[in-house]
A and B are shown apart, each in its own frame.
Chain A
Amino acid sequence: MLLMGFDRNNPAAVASRNAPVAGAETLPPFGASTARDLSARFLPPLLAVTSVIGIWWALYLIYPRLLPSPLSTVAEAIRLVTDGTFFFHMYQSLRRVFVGALAAMFFSVGVGIYMGTVMMGERFFQPLVVLGLTIPGLMWALIAVMLFGINEFSPYFAVTVTIFPMLVINIWAGVKSLDKELIDMSHVFHFTKRMKITQVILPQLVPNIFAATRYGLGLAWKVVVVVEMFGTSNGVGYQVMKSYQVFNMEGVIAWTLTFVVAMIVIEYGIINFAERRLTAWRPKIDVWRR
């Protein structure tokens, strides 16, 4: 929609679009450009995945007792998905990740903005954040289960406290690089505090919030899986542990695989989509254009 508006309203843009690319007439005639674009886009990741499977297969052929075959593992993964086990346990894990991550996000945006704008806030929270960063997620997982026992609060707590300092650091850094001129403008035009936060400050923090979300979700998964291994009776972590206890390597790898696929869907499907929507105001930048 944005690009359509751009073309229609800006005669200069229309002109530059229709103009031939400088030096284009000297380019050698390559094949169909769409085919080239597609192969350039999908070939490298396909090659990466194929090479991992190739190495796995080779290792399976050399040490058949140590590793399960890729085929039987994929068959196991398909069974998990088709009989619904996967969806039930994945839902449990996802819920824990998202509730914990949302709570952490909520607190970290508040604390990050406070640290970046009030000197006392920075002095108070900085040592706590540094301390929090040094404590491994595994420790929080153990502490949470010991403190709250085997219930739903333990994974929520562990995820929130593990990723909170990392999110705060990102948002705090973002607040420190806020555009002072825009803040001054909002003051001059009598913006209310609420308008300043929602219309001027938060939109500037969008890149930081996305960076923090990506990293935070990755970390949250790891913590949730650990908590589930010994603190819950369902979820992906619990299933991996169950497979481990009967030395079912196929099960362990099949669960890990399905879990990775779910992560990729979230990253490319949800986060990328949301980021594109929220940064649509920015013209596309091509740094390496020749």
Chain B
Amino acid sequence: MEETIYLDYAATTPVDERVLDVMMPFFRKEFGNPSSIHQFGQKAENALEEARETVAGVLKCRSDEIVFTSCGSESDNLALRGAGLAMRVAKNSNQFLTSQAEHHAVSRTVQQMVDLNGFEVEWLKVDEAGMVLPSTVEQSISNKTAIVSVMLANNEIGTINPIKKISKICHDQGVLMHSDAVQAAAYLSVDVDALGVDLLSLGGHKFYGPKGVGALYVRKGTPLYPTQTGGGQENGLRAGTQNVAYIVGFAEALRLAELERQERVTHVKPMRDRIIGAVLENIPEAKLTGHPENRLPNHCSFVFKDVDGNLLLTLLDSAGFACSSGSACKTGNPEPSEVIRLLNLPPTWNLGSLRVTLGMSTTVDEVEKFLTHLPELVQKARKLK
């Protein structure tokens, strides 16, 4: 079989070789526990704190505002559970404002706090591009609101939300603003002051770092309880011996993403636009999902009428292209995702979603090859349905 072309960089990315290189010493040579008194511990602690400073440099914050976690989902959980409980104690407010277009790490966490912990939620409406409008937040926010959580960019449909404006509304009301930037950080600036957020979630493997490591930015003074208790690591906010090698890799990957941001955007964006243009032009009954302009520069997402997205992925994979779908299900039981449902598409379009996301090693040749095959594969999927 020919080499498969990977077009699913929003799902995950390979670890950058430069990142892997800086991680390696911390598995064997510098294996100490950062909490230990001796020199092994001191070296590990130093690496950990350097990584924290590197991350703080990218986020333009203080290094003691960075909490390392095991992944983006854990960061979301810590932000919502930890700050939700703390806000209830500090301000007697217990309502979440968030949308169902959020990643499940946010929406299901909020739902569980409503079901089990007596919190309330108001699900914010999104527009037809899946965007949360500042005016919607303004209408819903009140003195009982504890936290507003809106993702920086949507993982399924690529839409970028107006975080800065939403943050301003929150701060005028004394409400905390959390943003899940897991999908966004590979291509968008995560300057926390420019965004105005109090809490920001990141995950390493979306920007050529390793899986199994993430971070949460916690603005100084933000009320937050730890959700994982034990030793006093991470400023008492996240117990557990730090995963030094992965944290070092996370920091290096984020540093490179920031350093090379413009270059990476310039690499993927023309190919993204080429794909969107060609698909809409050459495939009948195809629609772009998400915002046409305010979207991640590496992100294309579509729906096709009368197509089973799962089957389209199977056909694509067999033809040598690895993509993703909003209805993807490994057990052949496709259902439209919450995000796709929110777009108010007719039922005949709902299951036919396709996500194509590009990366640093994507080439124009790969894109052209993909575009040559896609129309015929969509047609096959329609025929089989």
Q: Do A and B come from one complex?
A: no
